[in-house]
Amino acid sequence: MSLPDKRDKQTDNSYLLFKYASLGGQLIVSLGLAVFAGIKADKWLKISFPLLGWLLPLLVLIVILYKIVKDTAPKK
C-alpha cells in the first residue's frame, strides 16, 4: 500500500480551486447580465418601479444556487 503522492494532492487542490473559481465567476457574470437585462426591460416596458431589475437577478440566483448544490453534492 503506497502513501498518496504530494503531487496528486496539489493537482486535486488546483482542480478544486479552478472549479469553485469558475462557479464564482459564473455567478458574478450571470447576476450582472440579469441586472442589466432587468433594468433595460423595465425601461422598455416603462415600469416605474424596477420590478424586473429585482426579479431577474433573484431568479438567476436561485437557479445558480441550485446548480452549485447539485454540482457539489457527493456522488452516490
Note the pLDDT tens digit of each residue in 53-73. 999 999 999 998 898 888 878
The answer to whether residue 47 sits within a structural domain is yes
Which residue range is the domain that position 67 belongs to?
Answer: 20-72
The answer to whether residue 56 sits within a structural domain is yes
Q: pLDDT for 4-62, tens place per residue?
A: 555 666 677 888 888 888 888 988 999 999 999 999 999 999 998 889 999 999 999 99
Residues 6+ apart with CB under 8 A from 45: 52
When divided into structural domains, the chain yields a total of: 1
Q: Is the pLDDT reported for residue 2 higher than 70?
A: no
Percent residues over pLDDT 70 in the chain: 87
The answer to whether residue 51 sits within a structural domain is yes
The answer to whether residue 3 sits within a structural domain is no
The answer to whether residue 41 sits within a structural domain is yes
| Phi-psi group of 65: left, alpha or beta (phi > 0 → left; psi -120 to 50 → alpha; rest → beta) | alpha
The answer to whether residue 1 sits within a structural domain is no
The answer to whether residue 13 sits within a structural domain is no
